[in-house]
Amino acid sequence: MDEKIVNLHKILYPEEYATVYVFTYPTFNKELRDLIENSGYIKEFKTKYHKSLRFLEQLKKSCIMQPKLFEQLVNTDGIYSIILHGQKNIRILFSFYESDKKEIAVLYNCFEEKRTKDYESEIRLAKVRRKELFGI
């Protein structure tokens, strides 16, 4: 297995999610927990998050055909967003990575979108994390 994939983490929040396709940046689970835990949004979030993960796993790159749940961000060299509308507008930035003929999706960071500008710094962070993990 690719050494870079070994350094990734499993989805652990809000509970362990069994998948061999979706992985996370090492600090992602804690950051997501910190964002959601005291929000009063846990139950609704969990349902939407798991639905999005299932779509991502099943559809892979075709997930963007579900524009209410996913979008490919322009001018980002392959960064995508999971869109979780609700009491809070949570966004999860991710990309696809292929190595040894195995494709995976990697969740980099999450944030609450309050205004369009929120994306700018979060996209920069996703790119830094992608470069750290994969050198791209």
Whole-angstrom distance, CA of residue 83 vs CA of residue 45:
11
Domain edges within the chain: 3-134
At 21-45, the pLDDT tens digits run 999 999 999 999 999 987 778 888 9
At 3-23, the pLDDT tens digits run 556 678 999 888 889 999 999
Alpha helix (H) residue ranges in 42-117 = 42-59
Whole-angstrom distance, CA of residue 129 vs CA of residue 131:
5
For residue 133, the one-letter residue type is: L
Has residue 1 got a pLDDT over 50?
A: no
Of 84, 83, 109, the residue nearest 94 (C-alpha):
109
Whole-angstrom distance, CA of residue 104 vs CA of residue 19:
10
Of 64, 69, 30, the residue nearest 49 (C-alpha):
69
- Secondary structure (DSSP) of 44-64: HHHHHHHHHHHHHHHHGGGGG
Whole-angstrom distance, CA of residue 57 vs CA of residue 63:
9
Q: Given this model, what pLDDT does residue 40 score?
A: 78
